[in-house]
Amino acid sequence: MRLVWQARSNPLAWWWGFLTLVSGANIALWFALYGQFHGLPTGSVDGTDIELMLLLCAAYVFGCAFRSFLPRADVQRICLFDTWLSSVLVGRSVATVAEVCFAAQWAIILDQLGKMAGADTTLNAALVIVPLILIAECFSWYAVLTTNYLGNAIENSIWAVAFLLVGIALCRLLPEFQGPVRWAILIAIAGVAGYLAFLVTIDVPMYLSRWRAGLADGSKLLGLFEGLRDVSTRWVVTHDIAHWKGEIAWMSLYFSAAVWSSLALCAAYSLEDHLPRYRAEAAAVTAPSMPRLAHSPSGALSPSL
């Protein structure tokens, strides 16, 4: 891989450096979590459960790091480095595994909190998140193989539906918890709202615009088998910022904030033993009450416990 294009005058070099730095920090954070929670002793979150969350988190953290080190835009077949690892087939396969694992993390944490709070809305959301993302991945592969941006628009619309359900599930949990747990849920809701706003106002409209432009230009779509060969053998190295402008915003957010949320989910899941003390119901039961006054045989008032 040649790095001669990485000059201070090239904004792509700064962007790639940002992605690389953030990804390195994310990997370090994952290893810190692994060192903290690997082989966790017995408790309501047993060793097997936390190991699964660590594994799912690792798939997302390392998958996003791989895509940061070797950025590429799938439908356009463009990349920064001339290596077979930049092929769309490799990159999209890594992305698929990572994104399904990320969805599974959300399903697990919502299931954990939903059961603790007895919230059926949250439990139902946990059941449908992974199937929705699997469907979204099918549309992503359709877009990549055929070069039809409509598939990307549908894919990201499904992500929007999935995280709308996540937001509803989190809102259902708000009255069930208090203190720092409630604040954590509020922060998560704000993050989901920001993500939905980005998808609805920027991401999906961008892909729809590209799809309409392709229709206007009469661009020829690839067949599935032709596309499979194309994603395996063709990648175009470009260091022209104009070719990457549409990708920089979503990649920067995706490989930073989204990865941080994956790490946060892993850490939050390990705290199950501590969460019951922040249940609003438990707080109401343990709240001190004023002594009740009762009449004594002599007629004087005395406290009655």
Give yes or no for a contact between 257 and 94, defined as CB atoms under 8 angstroms apart: no
What pTM was estimated for this model as a whole?
0.86
User: What CATH code is assigned to 11-277?
Assistant: 1.20.1070
> Is 294 in a helix, a strand, or coil?
strand
Ranges of beta strands (E only) in the chain are 72-73, 78-79, 236-237, 292-295, 301-304
Looking at per-residue pLDDT, the higher value among 92 and 9 belongs to: 92
Q: Map out the domains of the chain as residue ranges.
A: 11-277
Check residue 277 and give its pLDDT: 82
pLDDT, mean over the chain:
88
- Higher pLDDT residue, 156 or 287? 156
pLDDT in tens, 10-64: 889 899 999 999 999 999 999 999 998 876 554 445 555 888 999 999 999 999 9
Instruction: Tell me if 106 sits within 8 A of 166, measured CB to CB.
Output: yes
User: What is the pLDDT confidence band of residue 273, given thresholds at 50, 70 and 90?
Assistant: confident
For 175-195, what is each residue's pLDDT tens digit? 999 999 999 999 999 999 999
Q: Which residues contact 216 (CB under 8 A, 6 or more apart)?
A: none
What whole-number percentage of the chain has pLDDT above 70? 86
Report in angstroms the alpha-carbon separations of 175 from 37, 171, 269: 29, 8, 19
pLDDT reading at 287 higher than 50: no
Residue with the two structure tokens 């449908």: 128
Amino acid letter, residue 160: A
* Higher-pLDDT residue of 273, 161: 161
